[in-house]
Structure 1
């Protein structure tokens, strides 16, 4: 999940669009979401829900280290317990069935399945075998992300993503897991949101490992993408029937005015957020404009790297949360200028479904080889509470409906979009924000681990039941 804003109170306009007809969730009759071949699912990530960080041979990760460092996470909170999914996974998977979801996107905890020498950890692998086996028994499609930010700490101690060797260790990890889990995974994603790993982790320092150097960010990104290409090769060799791809977060940037400098600033915003990842994957090169923003930060690229990175993919996962309004910083970059009077979420993120549609249509025009797309994360944070045994999350209901409508508009404009995953199934550990923001369609009481399906989840289940009944 992208985290690129500071936590803020909900905007006073936040409820304006959300409170009208909260039960009117079902899409119109001509929506693509009614298609039987359009997949609807929910998503989670290992560090955010599993807990059990010291059990069954799991090694420390960079997020264990980062969240235990004073001042790095709101309230000093960590993922040590999270949603206790490691022990409650069976009942959590029952929620997927209860909500009528057709697919589940999860991630494997790299530190849980391998030791420092790269040997398999049988107990960790068995956990995912049992989990994926149960999903298959339930008839759900399985979308598995290999790297959702929980790098083993011992690799960080050797340089992390600044060390080219880490790309090869990712490929080893992909090789091991795909050999052990062959036939249980419908779709493999090598990376989740490399922009966050590289930029927030190495340039801004707001994510693990907490480094702050622009040159580090571009080199880390190169090694992440190199690891992706190497991993796709291993996945294809071991599990040829599955899909292979990558999940990226995308940001919509709009200009504060029609002035050419502000228009250029919006362009550079999208270069940094989008083209930095998509150009090497789909064009085999980095965008030159990126180094206008960050002069002198070109990564070390060895012969053959770009060919490895631009290996063909079966799908692209797209994560989207908000739009950013920017203006020129008067030099070679941009600065954000938040709009007034717009709907915002608990985190202060603007609700802008048109941004999702516009990005998807733009990518389809820009990249002739754009693979089929899944919306692998879309959702919003709110300060949800259980009142009388129920959770009224009317803003989320409106948010999801409007973003699903934006996806439908993109499909009708010619974009090949195959599915949509709600972020998230459960409230969870939201990285540097801790546990205050709640993104789930299921509420989690972290003291008791009680799960309560929110009203949004009830309406999703109702729609999916109706879609299933139509055949």
Structure 2
């Protein structure tokens, strides 16, 4: 039987251990008079999502949230990271407010507090109201103010009970993955749309922080995702390929947020698509961060693609074990990013691992057992590296496992399972996996 080799006692006594989810992936978008999001329309379009799956029912967390919060409490966790759905709160994107949506999140937050669980809120985890799609979505500079207004609506209702708030989850996914690679909603493949969405999102982040602080809210941050970039070999071409990937995936957003600039290697290709005098926006973008969320899963091995358009790199074959997503397991990467951020970008700003986990082909065995031993090994190896970073002086304050339960995994539909809790998508029955029980034992000491 697999078990953690790391001990709870190796972490500070006030270290947060929690689980994370996202609204569209678990709630069920058809309930509670939520409006359509661009994930509803994207999923309704053939060939965008595996098997034509969507989040209309998902895990029905909208109705089953008390059971789900009980699972968090019973697992020994002390924190829960969740997101509010913009389309649920403002079905038409702007203007009228769906009070049923705000009421749902108020019940959720109060339910967390009743169970002595700290609510960690993410304001935007990818479910843009579909009404904004006709207006250009993240390409439209007006979205800066639309998002700020939405943020104030949510926080003026819930902010007095929230432990910490993030504006965005994974800007790289919102912009590059969705507007350049076209893999996520809105499914565009356009370099100008990508560049505009990057700059508008960063402006929206800074503008929202200014508005929320003016309203008296604090402990505000953002969640960025990081992939370790490694060259396939030491050739100059492959090292440049890895550096370019690193600039796009890892340095772009943190550099804008903390150093008021974009990586030079990217400006050579993207600057022509940025607004005139875009540099003047960095004073708004680079608002002080009370904390930074770090999402980490994998590494990429890169090699040059000499005859390709920008960005002229491609994935090379790695040699490490892979998860069910095909992602290499490289725990040392989480240590790298925590120490790298601390030393180069964030100084003493508190860091939280806001997502870390793996997809596995989990099945319920006889007697209702789900033996996800690979996940136990994965989490244990990454916790060891988090502890190593703390010992090196990185101000890491918490770890949130992705995810509480199996859910709608975006373009992969329901085919990939990341949860500590198994969900039967026919009956919606929840079954804690071996990893959930291992966490419970780890946290009980």
**TM-score calculated relative to the size of structure 2:** 0.95
- 2:435 maps to 456
CA gap 1:322/1:75 in 2 versus in 1, 3 angstroms: same
Name the counterpart of 2:2. Answer: 22
Which residue of structure 1 lines up, in the alignment, with residue 338 of structure 2?
360
CA contact (8 A) 1:363 1:370 kept: no
* Conserved? CA contact 1:182–1:239, under 8 Å: no
User: Do the aligned partners of 2:8 and 2:442 also contact (CA within 8 Å) in 1?
Assistant: no
Q: Secondary structure at the match of 2:205?
A: helix
Are the equivalent residues in 2 in contact too, given 1:319–1:377 (CA < 8 A)? Answer: yes
Match of 1:250 in 2: 226
Correspondence 1:430 to 2:406: no
Match of 2:196 among 192, 205, 219: 219
Q: 2:7–2:442: 8 Å Cα contact kept in structure 1?
A: no
Report the equivalent of 2:137. Answer: 160
RMSD value over aligned CA atoms? 1.6
Does residue 40 in structure 1 map to residue 20 in structure 2? Answer: no
Q: What's the offset of the Cα at 1:386?
A: 0.4
Displacement of 1:267 in angstroms is: 1.5
Instruction: Kindly provide the CA deviation profile for residues 91-133 of structure 1, in whole angstroms up to 9, marking residues without a partner as x.
Output: 1111011101110000001111124342321111000001100
Q: Residue 37 of structure 1: CA displacement? A: 1.2
Could you say what secondary structure the match of 2:18 adopts? strand
| Structure 2 residue ranges without an equivalent (≥5) | none
The aligned residue for residue 117 of structure 2 is 140
Matched position secondary structure for 1:379? coil
Note closer, same or farther for the CA distance 1:268–1:73 as it changes in structure 2 (3 Å cut). same
Q: State whether residues 91 and 129 of structure 2, in contact with CA within 8 Å, keep that contact through their aligned partners in structure 1.
A: no
What's the offset of the Cα at 1:295? Answer: 7.0
Go from structure 1 to structure 2 and tell me whether the alpha carbon gap of 1:368 and 1:125 turns closer, same or farther (over 3 Å shift). Answer: closer
User: Residue 327 of structure 2 aligns with which residue?
Assistant: 349
TM-score, structure 1 as length reference: 0.90
SS at match of 1:440: coil
Matched, 1:131 2:111: no
Matched, 1:287 2:268: no
Any idea what the Cα deviations from partners look like across 1:351-385, whole Å, max 9, x if unmatched? 00011111222222222546211000000001100
**1:83 equivalent in alignment to 2:59:** yes
Q: Cα distance, 1:301 vs. partner?
A: 5.0
Partner residue, 2:80: 104
Structure 1 alignment gaps of length 5 or more: 1-20, 467-471
Cα distance in 1 for partners of 2:216, 2:437 equals 36
Structure ranking higher in helix proportion: 2
8 Å CA contact 2:261–2:279 kept in 1: the answer is no
Aligned counterpart, 1:397: 376
Instruction: Tell me by how many angstroms 1:447 deviates.
Output: 0.4
2:370/2:434 contact within 8 Å kept? yes
Provide the rounded CA distance (Å) in 1 between the counterparts of 2:304 and 2:337.
21
